[in-house]
Structures are given as C-alpha cells and as structure tokens.
A and B are shown apart, each in its own frame.
Chain A
Amino acid sequence: AQTVTQSQPEMSVQEAETVTLSCTYDTSESDYYLFWYKQPPSRQMILVIRQEAYKQQNATENRFSVNFQKAAKSFSLKISDSQLGDAAMYFCAYRFPNNAGNMLTFGGGTRLMVKP
C-alpha cells in the first residue's frame, strides 16, 4: 500500500523568508501524481501545486515550488517570500494515474506558522 509521510508536524517561518516542507512516500509504481494541498482555518483544502512523476522538471507556481526526487521518493515544497496568508496546514498527497480512480493518500500534515 502507498504511504505518505510528513516528518515535520509544525514549522515556523519569518514573514518574507523561505521555508521548505518535507514529504516522502512509498510506492512500487513508476507513474503517479503528487500534490500539495493547503488547509487554512476555513477548512477548505486548496491545491497549491502538482507534479507528474514522469516529468523530471520540478513544478513551480509563483512563490511555490517543489523539489521532486523520484529515486529518493521525496517531494518537498518550498515557499518563498512567505506571507501571513500562507499560515495553514499543508498536506502532501499521492495519487495513482491509472483507471483505479481519483483516490488520494494523504500525509499527516505540517502546520505552518508565519511570524510577522
């Protein structure tokens, strides 16, 4: 079974600084999708960034980028120029690419605090 591990339950960062959240996963598949979701106190899960495993290039979305290391099964999220609005729970998630459906396996989450 696939597992996703986020080893940092809590992280803090100074506003305008850079922070990296860690995620490792375990799978025997060669093709899959990885996601980072953000969950603010409003409870709604919001997509931050996504990565297709067959693409070697790391995904970027504005201030958010990933460091995808397929051999190491690592998928870390870097947030640059942190803003107060970035404070939230962040979840790493794994999904099969095939017709098995859209089921996501989530990590335990990292609570990010941003200090003004």
Chain B
Amino acid sequence: KAGVTQTPRYLIKTRGQQVTLSCSPISGHRSVSWYQQTPGQGLQFLFEYFSETQRNKGNFPGRFSGRQFSNSRSEMNVSTLELGDSALYLCASTPYGTGISPLHFGNGTRLTVT
C-alpha cells in the first residue's frame, strides 16, 4: 500500500504570494491532518479534515486554510505569505475519526519564503 504522498517536496516563494500544498492519504484513510514544523515552535497542529469536513483547527491565522476532496485527498493553502511561514509542512492520515489508530505521516513539504 502506498504511503502518504505530499507534493511538492520543496517550494520557494516570495513574501506576499500564496501557495497550495497537496496531500494524498493512504488508500482508505478518511482523516487527514496538517502540521507545521519549525525549529522555534516545534510541531504545531494546523487542521484536520474527516470526510470532507474540517473537524479541528489549530491556532493559526485565517491565511491558512485547507480542504478535503471526496477521494480524501487534501490541500492546504497559505495566502499572503510571510517570512515566518517558512517551515516543514507535514500531512498525516488515519483511517478513522478517532481511536488508537496512529497517524501515518508523509515526507513533508519544505516551504521557504524569501
């Protein structure tokens, strides 16, 4: 079974631009979560989608948004990029809405904002 796939792997953008990151979960997984990882703030939860509905959202400004499609693939969008948005963005999927089933992570998208 293919793992969680994130594209692109690396991205360089200019301040003020917007960016869209993509995540394809493991087949059959209905929950997709996004995390931001930075040296200063560590791993922070962005949002979770389950069956196309946003279920939880972390403490991030409205410039960060996401969506999930009927095939469970997810995208996250960051508008009006700031230098502080430079980070590794990790996507994770799990089959169910809750439970002990662990999150399976992708390799991440490294976003650099200049």
Contact = CB atoms under 8 A, between A and B. Distances in A.
B107 A50 contact: no
Chain A facing B: main interface SS: loop
Contacts of B56: 100-101, 103
B106 to A, nearest CB: 7
Chain B facing A: main interface SS: strand
Q: How large is the interface on B (under 10, 10 to 19, 20 to 34, 35 or more residues)?
A: 20 to 34
A102 B33 contact: yes
Interface in A93-116: 96-109
Interface of A: 33, 35, 37, 42-47, 50, 52, 91, 96-109
Interface of B: 31, 33, 35, 42-43, 45, 48, 50, 55-56, 58, 88, 90, 92, 94, 97-100, 102-108, 110
